[in-house]
């Protein structure tokens, strides 16, 4: 099986390759800048990133209304500081999208 050149990869494939697991301690500086976006565990992290990149305002508003995608809050920061969880993370500058890593969440391969 041959590997596709980067310019032929879909946006989802490129974003999926750019995901990483990151500790809360490494996200604190981004939270302080106000750029951390919390993605609910029942929503695909890559789908949320694509929606943000494509500026799909209607879908983002729908997810925001259901609290599936939202800016991380001070309450989140206090909770994460107490628990020190790890997150799946993908950057769509200037935003850092995070989804808490649990036994039920995993990196999605599209």
Query: pLDDT for 20-74, tens place per residue?
Result: 999 999 999 999 999 999 999 999 999 999 999 999 999 999 999 999 999 999 9
Structure tokens at 41: 């565990």
Q: Is residue 2's pLDDT more than 50?
A: no
Confidence of residue 8 (pLDDT cuts 50, 70, 90): low
Cα separation, 6 vs 39, in Å, equals 26
pLDDT of res. 34 = 97
Evaluate whether 31 touches 66 at the Cβ level (below 8 Å).
no
Rounded to whole angstroms, what are the CA distances from 37 to 3, 5, 61, 73?
Answer: 32, 30, 14, 9
28 Cβ partners below 8 Å, 6+ apart? 77, 81
pLDDT of res. 1 = 44
Q: Would you kindly state where each structural domain of the chain is located, as residue ranges?
A: 6-100
């Amino acid at each position: 099986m041959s590997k596709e050149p980067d310019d032929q990869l879909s946006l989802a494939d490129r974003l999926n390759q750019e995901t990483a697991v990151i500790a809360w301690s490494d996200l604190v500086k981004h939270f302080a800048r106000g750029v951390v976006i919390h993605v609910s565990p029942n929503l695909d992290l890559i789908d949320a990133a694509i929606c943000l990149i494509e500026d799909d305002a209607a879908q983002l508003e729908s997810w925001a209304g259901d609290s599936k995608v939202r800016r991380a809050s001070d309450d989140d920061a206090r909770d994460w500081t107490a628990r020190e969880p790890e997150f799946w993370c993908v950057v769509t500058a200037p935003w850092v999208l995070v989804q808490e890593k649990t036994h039920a969440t995993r990196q999605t391969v599209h």
